[in-house]
Amino acid sequence: MKSSLLSQRIKELRKVYNYTQDYVAEILGITRQTYSHYETGRRTPSADTIFKLAALYNISVDDLLRLSVVLDKDVFYEAPIPTQSSDNLASYLSFFNDPKNQKKYLHHSNLEKELLYYFHIISEKDKRELIEIAKIKTKNNNQ
């Protein structure tokens, strides 16, 4: 794939999701200037960075590189506040870039995805406890 096509694609994805270059650079663990060079085609992202970009936009690396995803520019995508620490961000991104999870969680909001990720990694006992808390919250909201 030509670098200019990848640079156009990542810029388009960032704008559709309403992310800033600073935000994407923070998620990737690079400087904003380095990320800006990816968008202008002056630099080509490493394989690891391409993997992280695909995970950030919840698309496969294949879709990112082949430009096979059609973006709906009329849809507003919310930019999540990065709440994951850098220690578990890679795990979080890997979880949602796993092919079996990509389609499963495709239409969930970022908040729902975060909840599902943490629910996935906690103990069964804690899962039951959270469900009971959700039931109580639901009952209180319906009164």
- pLDDT tens-digit map of 15-40: 888 899 999 999 999 999 999 999 99
Asked if residue 18 lies in contact with residue 29, where contact means CB atoms within 8 angstroms, the answer is no
Residue 41, pLDDT > 80, answer yes
What domain range includes position 12?
3-141
**pLDDT at residue 17, rounded to an integer:** 85
CATH of the domain at 45: 1.10.260.40
Amino acid at 32: R
Q: Give the chain's domain count.
A: 1
Distance, in Å, from the CA atom of 118 to the CA atom of 121, rounded to the nearest integer, reads 5
3-state secondary structure labels for all residues of 31-56: CHHHHHHHHHCCCCCCHHHHHHHHHH
